[in-house]
């Protein structure tokens, strides 16, 4: 069997840290002078690696980091990252200890939670008004104000911020976004007038790109800093640069005669003589099985259809002639090769999901290899 030259691993996610830096700088430019950027690195940096993404985002001009879970904040601190961290998710008592122990700010919408923060040594809280997302926060603006007052009145607790989260920022022309914005403004602006140091924040990536009125003092941008488009369109159209490439290589090429099949369940049976290339990446790496007979892979700069069932460790593609692929050729599942480009948005469309889920789905078996515009990081 031929041994591959220059192919380090069977499947790899190459992440361009400089692209993350540029995406952050591009988002900051969008914000003008006023608002800070909180780079959201939850879920292992949307699959890109939280610590590396956090460092790149800070280098690119982010001043805060956002996570969902207390443990994610602790992991950033363990990597010697000292920037302010906001834990945006719900916290159990034990998790609150971990978050405060990591010196992270936490979200409050209940006076008892403020008391719990004080009882656990104190910390900074951001009060959350639920203006329409319907998940965390209180829908009652008077109750939210009471939580803010409780925070200022409680020894050891600092009222640091007031926030909300949009449900439809990525749906262009949707009127609900404006209603949420109005609800937030009518609660948060008077509160800020009384507490001028409050950090008001509401926007995710989509809201930040959609409406400057949603920027306030800080924007919480996740998906855009990875160069993924929050509207599921081509990221290049908004000057966003995908940071992640998912690559594997051609491990075998062989002829397949009419009537012969590839993969479990014989979901692909050749109708005419052709050649398949076997690529050692599968759903055990995060390449979703729903791409069965429904995907493309770049080999030698051409799009080749994924044929047959995606298995745990392999996929097969139809390359046509034996001259079209050789063992050791690079295979790109997300990323560019020659003139061709497969985006996470395209994969998401095929799967009926969003780009966020495509990169979050990448499993630990896929090593993340970092570089800076092609040079080793
Ligand atoms: C995940 C998250 C964000 C970031 O959203 P993007 O769409 O990735 O920019 C912002 N705010 C909250 C509360 C979140 O949970």
CATH of the domain at 327: 2.40.37.10
Domain boundary among 197, 228, 259: 228
Q: Which domain holds residue 115?
A: 17-228
Quote the tokens at residue 343. 């985006």
At residue 39's C-alpha, the angle toward residues 35 and 44, to 5°, is: 170
Nearest to 296 by CA among 319, 270, 326: 319
* Ligand 1 touching residue 288 (CB < 6 A): no
Quote the tokens at residue 120. 């656990």
Q: How far is it between the farthest Cα atoms of the chain? A: 78
* Ligand 1 touching residue 40 (CB < 6 A): yes
Nearest to 347 by CA among 230, 206, 232: 232
Same domain, 187 and 312: no
Cα distances from 169 to residues 221, 229, 369, in angstroms, run 12, 13, 32
Same domain, 258 and 134: no
Same domain, 174 and 318: no
Q: Give the distance (Å) from ligand 1 centre to CA of residue 170.
A: 12
Same domain, 257 and 130: no
Q: Give the distance (Å) from ligand 1 centre to CA of residue 128.
A: 14
Counting atoms of ligand 1 from 1, which one is nearest the CA of 225?
Answer: 9
Residue 97, domain CATH? 3.20.20.10
Task: Scan for tokens 């159990």, then name that residue.
Answer: 92
Q: β-strand 244-249 against 12-16: which pairing, if any?
A: antiparallel
pLDDT at 140: 97
**Number of domains the chain is built from:** 2
pLDDT at 8: 53
Same domain, 212 and 279: no
Same domain, 215 and 256: no
**Is 370 part of a structural domain of the chain?**
no
Q: What is the pLDDT along the chain (377 residues), one digit of tens a residue?
A: 444 445 457 999 999 999 999 999 999 999 987 899 999 999 999 999 999 999 999 999 999 999 999 999 999 999 999 999 999 999 999 999 999 999 999 999 999 999 999 999 999 999 999 999 999 999 999 999 999 999 999 999 999 999 999 999 999 889 999 999 999 999 999 999 999 999 999 999 999 999 999 999 999 999 999 999 999 999 999 999 999 999 999 999 999 999 999 999 999 999 999 999 999 999 999 999 999 999 999 999 999 999 999 999 999 999 999 999 999 999 999 999 999 999 999 999 999 999 999 999 999 999 999 999 999 98
Quote the tokens at residue 365. 């078996």
* Ligand 1 touching residue 203 (CB < 6 A): no
pLDDT at 9: 75
- Residue by residue, what is the 3-state secondary structure of the chain? CCCCCCCCCCCEEEEEHHHHHHHHHHHHHHHCCCCEEEEECHHHHHCCCHHHHHHHHHHCCCCEEEECCHHHHHHHHHCCCCCCEEECCCCCHHHHHHHHHCCCEEEECCHHHHHHHHHCCCEEEEEEECCCCCCCCECCHHHHHHHHHHHHHCCCEEEEEEECCCCCCCCCCCHHHHHHHHHHHHHHHHHHHHCCCCEEECCCHHHHHHCHHHCCCEEEECHHHHCCCCCCCCHHHHCCCCCEEEEEECCEEEEECCCCEECHHHCEECCCCEEEEEECCCCCCCCCHHHCCCEEEEECCEEEEEECCCCCCCEEEECCCHHHCCCCCEEEEEEEECCEEECHHHHHHHHCCCHHHHHHCCCCCCCEEEEECCEEC
Quote the tokens at residue 252. 């075998």
Same domain, 203 and 254: no
Same domain, 318 and 292: yes
Same domain, 80 and 106: yes
Quote the tokens at residue 51. 């610590």
* Ligand 1 touching residue 201 (CB < 6 A): no
User: Distance between CA atoms of 173 and 63, rounded to whole angstroms?
Assistant: 31
**Is 279 part of a structural domain of the chain?**
yes
Domain boundary among 228, 257, 285: 228
User: Distance between CA atoms of 11 and 164, rounded to whole angstroms?
Assistant: 39
Q: Give the distance (Å) from ligand 1 centre to CA of residue 152.
A: 26
* Ligand 1 touching residue 240 (CB < 6 A): no
pLDDT at 4: 47
pLDDT at 1: 42
Residue 273 C-beta-side C-alpha neighbours within 13 Å: 3
Q: Give the distance (Å) from ligand 1 centre to CA of residue 81.
A: 20
Counting atoms of ligand 1 from 1, which one is nearest the CA of 46?
Answer: 8
Same domain, 273 and 182: no
Q: β-strand 368-372 against 375-376: which pairing, if any?
A: antiparallel
Same domain, 93 and 133: yes
Same domain, 24 and 95: yes
* Ligand 1 touching residue 163 (CB < 6 A): no
Catalytic residues: 42, 264
Cα distances from 210 to residues 178, 214, 317, 334, 357, in angstroms, run 11, 8, 39, 26, 22
Quote the tokens at residue 22. 């540029």
């Amino acid at each position: 069997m031929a041994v591959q030259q220059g192919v380090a691993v069977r499947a790899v996610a190459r992440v361009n840290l400089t692209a993350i830096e540029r995406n952050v700088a591009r988002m900051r430019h969008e914000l003008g002078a006023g608002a800070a950027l909180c780079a959201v690195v939850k879920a292992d940096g949307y699959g890109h690696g939280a610590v590396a993404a956090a460092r790149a985002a800070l280098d690119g001009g982010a001043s805060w980091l956002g996570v969902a879970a207390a443990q994610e904040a602790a992991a950033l601190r363990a990597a010697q990252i000292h920037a302010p961290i906001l834990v945006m998710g719900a916290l159990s008592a034990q998790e609150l200890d971990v978050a405060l122990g990591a010196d992270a700010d936490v979200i409050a919408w209940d006076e008892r939670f403020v008391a719990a923060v004080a009882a656990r040594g104190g910390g900074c809280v951001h009060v959350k008004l639920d203006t329409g997302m319907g998940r965390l926060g209180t829908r009652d603006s008077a109750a939210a104000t009471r939580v803010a007052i409780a925070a200022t009145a409680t020894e050891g607790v600092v009222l640091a911020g007031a926030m909300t989260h949009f449900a439809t920022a990525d749906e262009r022309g949707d009127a609900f976004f404006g209603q949420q914005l109005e609800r937030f403004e009518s609660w948060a602006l008077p509160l800020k007038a009384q507490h001028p140091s409050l950090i008001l924040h509401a926007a995710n990536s989509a809201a930040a790109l959609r409406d400057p009125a949603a920027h306030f003092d800080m924007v919480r941008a996740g998906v855009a800093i990875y160069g993924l488009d929050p509207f599921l369109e081509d990221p290049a159209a908004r000057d966003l640069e995908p940071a992640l490439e998912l690559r594997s290589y051609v491990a075998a090429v062989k002829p397949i005669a009419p009537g012969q099949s590839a993969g479990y369940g014989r979901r692909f049976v050749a109708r005419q003589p052709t050649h398949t290339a076997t690529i050692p990446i599968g759903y055990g790496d995060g390449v979703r099985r729903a791409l069965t007979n429904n995907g493309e892979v770049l080999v030698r700069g051409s799009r080749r259809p994924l044929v047959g069932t995606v298995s745990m460790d392999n996929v097969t593609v139809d390359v046509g002639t034996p001259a079209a692929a050789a063992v050791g050729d690079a295979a790109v599942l997300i990323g560019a090769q020659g003139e061709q480009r497969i985006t996470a948005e395209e994969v998401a469309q095929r799967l009926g999901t969003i780009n966020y889920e495509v990169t979050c789905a990448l499993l630990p078996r896929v090593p993340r290899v970092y570089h800076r515009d092609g040079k080793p990081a």
